[in-house]
């Protein structure tokens, strides 16, 4: 009987133990489940935030890469542009030189022509009827023909600081001479840069120079080691010309 | 905290169940209940083991995002936030740099454009390029008493009338162009006197080359103005007609082509330093 009671007690004890174990186990599972859920809830929020943040960071990185690529492209283009610009500037400088838009210096000759007012007065006094005033003043044609004679030997020519360019026209208007539409007054100083001897030879070859020497107009020619010739100060307006194909 | 207590108790009980299972209360032949109990204990033990092994503390799944350790996640968030801030800073800097660079490039472009425009203008104006445009063409059909300085006058008149470019027999006139004359002599027998006589003719030259006839002077500019500049009472064409009896043909044209001039290198001149 005692053995039976002991067995009963044992069974009750074991049942109690199992129950306690079971309760603990089940509650443990619940707790585990719940705490897991809570942890999951916190974790999921953080994880979602983290994922968002990482996506944002990735987007930022992509944007940075894009900008860096764009900058690199612009810089390489800029470098090309810079070399293009310096090449263009060199071309422009050469054009400025050939267009007479740069002041030049070099050896050459200076020709001085002046009206002979004194001679004219004396001639008028001596022979009022036979006196020809035109023989005592410098004419536009004198300048025009002298310049054309000097042209093939001269690298630059100016008349009283007016640079002679391709389209320079010389004319008289009453008693004044216009060069590049600018009124000039005597004495006239023609400066030409080039080989002084060649320039003098060209001058000697000129009919107009030779005839001037026979007139009453004082003509003075001096070679010079260094002459300064001013740049063309006018405009280059092109209204009718367009580029034609170079062929 | 509670989780820790729970796992501690579960651990103790699992240990006890293990003891019961291995060392049952009676060593006698196991009864049915004892066997059921042992099987149950073992089953529970296994389950417990499985649960414990699956617990987040042990399984190490905390690094995963879904059920990760909040502390670690927070650390990661802090890290990514710092990274984001640094990236934003970098981006701002780059955006500024891009804007500045674009502004510089834009300036460079406008400078290049202005240089190009100037080059194109001067190429047209200085004889460095073939050009075309409206204008006039003056043609002397045959040799006459026309002198070289008449030709110089004619060119001068054209420029006075606004010519942008002039060419003589297809060669562009420049500030270096020489217009002169060349004498040519020929000896012939005079049949009347029976003596040899020398005839001297003067030919107009341009840049040292004799100009052939028909002599054609072309000018680009406003055709009507150019024509008026030459052909008016007392104008050069009337003077030529009066002097030599020559009447060149003067025609307006919508397209006159003037070739580029030969480039001239400077050998004596240098730009004046300012």
In this prediction, residue B63 carries a pLDDT of 42
Q: Hey, which residues 120-179 in chain B have their CB within 8 Å of chain A?
A: 120-135, 149, 152-153, 156-157, 159-160, 163-165, 173-179
The region of weakest confidence among A166-175, B68-77, B122-131, B187-196 is B68-77
Confirm if A167 and B172 have CB atoms less than 8 A apart. Answer: no
**Dihedral pair phi/psi, residue A217, rounded to 5°:** -85, 125
Q: Is B12 on the interface with A (CB under 8 A)?
A: no
pLDDT tier at B64, thresholds 50, 70, 90: very low
Q: Which domain-ending residue is among A29, A64, A98?
A: A98
**Both tokens of residue B75?**
């650390």
A154 and A214 inside one domain: yes
Mutate which of B101, B171, B269, B272 to test chain A, going by most A C-beta atoms within 10 A?
B269
In the three-class reduction of DSSP (H, G, I as helix; E, B as strand; rest coil), residue A230 is classed as coil
Q: What is the ipTM of this complex?
A: 0.74
**The pLDDT value given to residue B62:** 42
Ordered DSSP codes for chain B: -HHHHHHHHHHHHHHHHHHHHHS-S--SSPPHHHHHHHHHHHHHHHHHHHHHHHSHHHH-GGGSSTT--HHHHHHHHHHHHHHHHHHHHHHHHHHHHHHHHHHHHHHHHHHHHHHHHHHHHHHHHTTSS-EEEEEEEEEE-S--S--HHHHHHHHHHHHHTT-SEEEETTEE--TT--EEEEEEEEEEEETTTTEEEEEEEEEEEETTEEPPSSEEEEEES-HHHHHHHHSSTTSHHHHHHHHH----EEEEEEEEEEPPPPP---SS-EEPP-
Q: Which residues of B236-250 are buried (b: 16+ CB within 10 A; e: fewer)?
A: bbeebeeeeebebee
Whether residue B19 is predicted with pLDDT greater than 90 in this model: the reply is: no
Count of CB contacts below 8 A, A vs B?
285
Q: Is B208 on the interface with A (CB under 8 A)?
A: yes
Residue A1: per-residue pLDDT:
47
Question: What average pLDDT is seen over chain A?
Answer: 86
Rounded Cα distance, B161 and A139, in Å: 20
Q: Which residues in A lie closer than 8 A to residue B20 (C-beta atoms)?
A: 14, 17
Please check the confidence at residue B182 and state whether its pLDDT lies above 50: yes
Please list the residues that pair with A159 across neighbouring strands.
A162, A190
Instruction: Give the span between the Cα atoms of A177 and B99, in whole angstroms.
Output: 57
CB contact under 8 A, B118 and A92: yes
Task: Answer yes or no: do A45 and A163 share one domain.
Answer: no
Residues of B in contact with A32 (CB under 8 A): 3, 6, 51, 55
What digits encode the pLDDT tens for the residues A115-166?
888 888 888 888 888 888 888 889 999 999 999 999 999 999 999 999 999 9
- Is position A246 within any domain? no
Rounded to whole angstroms, the Cα distance separating A113 from A11 reads 149
Q: Which residue of B has its CA nearest to A149?
A: B178
Span B249-271, pLDDT tens digits: 999 999 999 999 988 889 999 99
Of A20, A31, A207, the CB nearest to B3: A31
Instruction: For residues A154-183, give the mean pLDDT.
Output: 91
* CB within 8 Å: A85 and B67: no
Residue B254 contacts A where some CB pair is shorter than 8 Å:
no
Q: Does residue A107 lie within any of the structural domains?
A: yes
Q: Are residues A165 and A109 in the same domain?
A: yes
**Is the domain of A177 the same as that of A66?**
no
pLDDT at site A146? 96
Same domain, residue pair A106 and A49: no
Strands A156-159 and A162-163, sheet pairing: antiparallel
pLDDT digits (tens, 9 = 90+) for B111-147: 888 889 999 999 998 888 999 999 999 999 988 889 9
Tell me the pLDDT of chain B averaged across its residues. Answer: 83
The number of folded domains in chain A is: 2
For testing contact with chain B, the best of A20, A21, A73, A76 (most B CBs within 10 A): A21
Is residue A54 domain-shared with residue A3, that is, in the same domain? yes
Please indicate whether, in this complex, the C-beta atoms of A92 and B115 are within 8 angstroms of each other: yes
Answer whether residue B16 shows pLDDT above 90: no
Q: When comparing pLDDT for B162 and A2, which is higher?
A: B162
Residue from B3, B40, B126 whose CB has the most chain A CBs within 10 Å, to mutate: B126
* B108 at interface of A, judged by CB pairs closer than 8 A: yes
Backbone angles phi, psi at A106, to 5 degrees: 170, 180
User: Within the 64-93 window of chain B, which residues sit less than 8 Å (CB to CB) from chain A?
Assistant: 65-70, 73-74, 76-77, 80-81, 83-84, 87-88, 90-91
In the predicted structure, residue A53 carries a pLDDT above the cut 80: yes
Q: How far apart are CA A242 and CA A238, in angstroms?
A: 8
Structure-token match 């007012």, residue found: A117
pLDDT band at B238; cut points 50, 70, 90: very high
Is A186 found in the same domain as A155?
Answer: yes
Of A22, A148, A167, the CB nearest to B179: A148
| Whether residues A82 and A124 fall in one domain | no
* Arithmetic mean of pLDDT, B242-247: 90
| pLDDT at position A88 over 70 | yes
Asked if the model's pLDDT at residue B273 lies above 60, the reply is yes
Of A25, A144, A241, the CB nearest to B152: A144
- Is the pLDDT reported for residue B59 higher than 50? no
Superfamily of domain B131-179+212-258 in the CATH hierarchy: Protein of unknown function DUF881 (3.30.70.1880)
Distance from CA of B195 to the nearest CA of A (A): 32
What is the pLDDT, as a whole number, of residue A133? 81
CATH of the domain at A124: 3.30.70.1880
Q: How far is A198 from chain B (nearest CA, A)?
A: 12
Q: How far apart are CA A85 and CA B76, in angstroms?
A: 52
Write down the domain spans for chain B: 2-59, 131-179+212-258
Q: Which of A24, A70, A99 sits opposite B122 (nearest CB)?
A: A99
Do A145 and A85 share a structural domain?
no
Q: Quote the minimal CA–CA distance from A120 to chain B in Å.
A: 27
Model confidence at A247: pLDDT above 90 = no
- Torsion, Cα of B171, B172, B174, B178 (10° steps): 20
Rounded Cα–Cα distance for residues A168 and A156 (Å): 13
Of A98, A114, A141, which residue sits at a domain end? A98
- Overall average pLDDT of the B218-246 stretch: 93
β-bridge partners, B250: B138
Same structural domain, A57 and A155: no
Is residue B8 over pLDDT 80? no
* Together in a domain, A150 and A80: no
Q: Are residues A92 and A105 in the same domain?
A: no
- Residue B83 pLDDT greater than 60, yes or no: yes
Average confidence (pLDDT) over A12-39: 68
pLDDT (0 to 100) of residue B61: 45
Candidate from B112, B127, B221 with C-beta closest to A166: B127
The answer to whether A176 and A183 are in contact (CB under 8 A) is yes
The nearest CA of chain B is from the CA of A1 a distance in Å of 17
Give the DSSP per-residue string, B108-164: HHHHHHHHHHHHHHHHHHTTSS-EEEEEEEEEE-S--S--HHHHHHHHHHHHHTT-S
User: CA nearest A22: which of B17, B19, B32, B56?
Assistant: B17
Q: Please, what is the end-to-end C-alpha distance for chain A in angstroms? A: 135
Highest-confidence range of A147-156, B76-85, B88-97, B200-209, by mean pLDDT?
A: A147-156
Contact A184, A162 (CB under 8 A): yes
Task: Locate the chain B residue with the closest alpha carbon to A157.
Answer: B175
Q: How far is B142 from chain A (nearest CA, A)?
A: 24
Residue-range definition of the domain harbouring residue A41:
1-98
Residue B101 has pLDDT above 60, yes or no: yes
Query: B115 and A193 in contact by Cβ < 8 A?
Result: no
Give the containing element (helix H, strand E) for A242: strand A242-243
């Amino acid at each position: 009987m005692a053995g039976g009671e002991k067995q009963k007690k044992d069974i009750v004890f074991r049942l109690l133990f199992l129950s306690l174990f079971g309760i603990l186990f089940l509650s443990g599972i619940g707790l585990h489940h719940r705490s897991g859920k809570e942890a999951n809830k916190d974790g999921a929020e953080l994880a979602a935030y983290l994922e968002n943040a990482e996506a944002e960071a990735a987007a930022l990185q992509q944007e940075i890469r894009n900008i860096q690529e764009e900058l690199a492209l612009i810089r390489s283009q800029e470098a090309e542009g810079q070399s293009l610009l310096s090449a263009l500037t060199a071309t422009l400088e050469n054009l400025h030189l050939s267009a007479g838009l740069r002041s030049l210096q070099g050896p050459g000759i200076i020709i001085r022509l002046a009206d002979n007012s004194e001679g004219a007065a004396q001639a008028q006094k001596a022979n009022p009827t036979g006196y020809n005033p035109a023989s005592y003043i410098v004419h536009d044609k004198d300048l025009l023909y002298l310049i054309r004679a000097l042209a093939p030997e001269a690298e630059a020519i100016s008349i009283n600081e007016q640079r002679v360019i391709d389209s320079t026209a010389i004319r008289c208007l009453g008693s004044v001479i216009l060069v590049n539409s600018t009124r000039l007054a005597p004495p006239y100083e023609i400066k030409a840069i080039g080989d002084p001897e060649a320039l003098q030879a060209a001058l000697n070859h000129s009919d107009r120079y030779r005839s001037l020497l026979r007139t009453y107009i004082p003509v003075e020619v001096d070679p010079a080691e260094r002459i300064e010739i001013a740049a063309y100060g006018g405009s280059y307006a092109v209204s009718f010309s367009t580029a034609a194909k170079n062929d | 905290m509670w989780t820790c207590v729970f796992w501690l108790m579960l651990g103790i009980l699992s240990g006890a169940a293990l003891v019961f299972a291995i060392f049952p209360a009676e060593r006698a032949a196991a009864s049915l209940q004892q066997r059921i109990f042992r099987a149950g204990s073992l089953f529970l033990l296994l389950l417990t083991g499985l649960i414990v092994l699956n617990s987040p503390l042990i399984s190490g799944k905390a690094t995963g995002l879904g059920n990760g350790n909040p502390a670690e996640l927070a650390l990661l968030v802090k890290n990514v936030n710092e990274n984001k801030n640094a990236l934003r800073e970098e981006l701002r800097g780059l955006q500024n740099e891009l804007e500045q660079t674009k502004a510089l490039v834009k300036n460079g472009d406008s400078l290049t454009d202005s240089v190009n425009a100037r080059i194109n203008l001067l190429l047209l104006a200085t004889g460095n390029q073939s050009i075309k445009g409206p204008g006039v063409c003056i043609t002397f059909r045959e040799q006459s008493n026309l002198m070289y300085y008449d030709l110089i006058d004619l060119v001068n008149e054209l420029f006075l009338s606004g010519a942008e470019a002039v060419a003589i027999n297809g060669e562009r006139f420049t500030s270096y162009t020489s217009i002169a004359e060349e004498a040519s002599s020929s000896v012939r027998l005079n049949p009347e006197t029976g003596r040899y006589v020398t005839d001297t003719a003067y030919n107009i030259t341009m840049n040292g080359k004799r100009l052939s006839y028909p002599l054609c002077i072309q000018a680009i500019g406003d055709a009507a103005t150019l024509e008026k500049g030459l052909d008016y009472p007392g104008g050069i064409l009337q003077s030529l007609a009066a002097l030599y009896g020559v009447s060149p043909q003067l025609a307006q044209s919508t397209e006159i082509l003037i070739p580029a001039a030969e480039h001239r290198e400077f050998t004596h001149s240098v730009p004046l330093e300012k």
